[in-house]
Structure 1
């Protein structure tokens, strides 16, 4: 049976829903992304749905972390460190071209600090967490799990990049995505995944595989069709 224990804030709701909590959460996730998919490709008003991207990301994170098993000090520290490392890696990248290459953020991801949207830190946390959870199920050494999870992050970024540049999430100097972007992602992601594997909190979340799959399919099919 899947582990569907929820975060303390939402646990009474999850208990009341019982076995329906996970299917309902997955359905909400799929519907919200399906609406975004239609809106960005077929509504005739893609800029309106681009502005909903922050809400989409916040909703996805709320659903995901509602199923996290235990909000202990180790998890809170992990979340804060990953958010900060992800965010400041992007600040470094935007201002120096190091790690990822020369790029800049558009307006679609909301409020910026030092020219980087605050939600980028949350996105790094979400991707690190879901891929770490997925790889934790593998019968591998902890460092091998970390590498697999980092590669899963880079794979998702590979499909995100063309969509992001087309819909004003961010843009690359010269219009070309450099190989340094993926190398930078692999370096930062590996560091974060090594931390994930050693952090002392439960590595189980029934929503994690669904969040990764929905994100992957969303960007894959937009990239194919757009």
Structure 2
């Protein structure tokens, strides 16, 4: 009984940031190994749950704890959803493409969690770019560049995972230009409203997700 109490006290003493970062890596490494071993359908179908879990961890550890941050998340979510809706229905910004079934429920053809992903990416890349001692406008460009880099590595595994597929099977140059334009606009908003968040958690989420998709970029692309 005493030993059990000691173990519980040790767990409570572990910083919540450490727990959050551990969970982020656990989710992604488990999926990476599972997909590589041939369990792609089982793991990739859980993508909406993973995106929801990452958002919950972000809300807890970033944290999203003020009216200003809630407003920012709402704007970034809405901006991403509008951009994707224009892309899906009119081929504007990103090219001609459509979403598959593994990103969860859709709102008029656009997965709800795509909007969540846009919000998460803007927040974490915004915090990362803020650590660099440059002008506000250079931070906007750096943040947008980090998001385009992330998208670059997503494009090869995306159709394999039934996330989305472009006409012709390959993302056109307009996709990356469109991503940069939308991301730069959202990062301009981020800089204007001066959002602050946890740098370490943001960095680990970005690196973990980037490495996950980079692995499958080369796994399926070579």
Task: State the TM-score, normalizing by the size of structure 2.
Answer: 0.90
Query: Does structure 1 retain, via aligned residues, the 8 Å contact 2:94–2:174?
Result: yes
Equivalent residues in 2 for 1:1-226, closer than 5 Å: 17=12, 20-42=15-37, 44-69=38-63, 71-226=65-220
How far 1:21 sits from its partner (Å)?
Answer: 1.8
Which structure has the larger Rg?
2
Query: Does structure 2 retain, via aligned residues, the 8 Å contact 1:164–1:170?
Result: yes
**Unaligned regions of 5+ residues in structure 1, if any?**
1-15
3-state SS in 2 of match to 1:177: coil
In 2, Cα distance between the equivalents of 1:51 and 1:69? 28
How far 1:203 sits from its partner (Å)?
Answer: 4.1
In 1, Cα distance between the equivalents of 2:47 and 2:197? 28
Query: Does structure 2 retain, via aligned residues, the 8 Å contact 1:32–1:56?
Result: yes
In 1, Cα distance between the equivalents of 2:74 and 2:60? 17
In 2, Cα distance between the equivalents of 1:209 and 1:92? 30
Supply the RMSD in Å over aligned alpha carbons.
1.5
How far 1:65 sits from its partner (Å)?
Answer: 2.3
In 1, Cα distance between the equivalents of 2:204 and 2:85? 29
How far 1:70 sits from its partner (Å)?
Answer: 5.8
In 1, Cα distance between the equivalents of 2:172 and 2:118? 20
Query: Does structure 2 retain, via aligned residues, the 8 Å contact 1:67–1:206?
Result: no
In 1, Cα distance between the equivalents of 2:14 and 2:141? 33
In 2, Cα distance between the equivalents of 1:201 and 1:217? 26
In 2, Cα distance between the equivalents of 1:207 and 1:117? 25
Q: 1:170-219 CA deviation, whole Å, 9 max, x = no partner?
A: 00101121000000000000000011011144244431000000001100
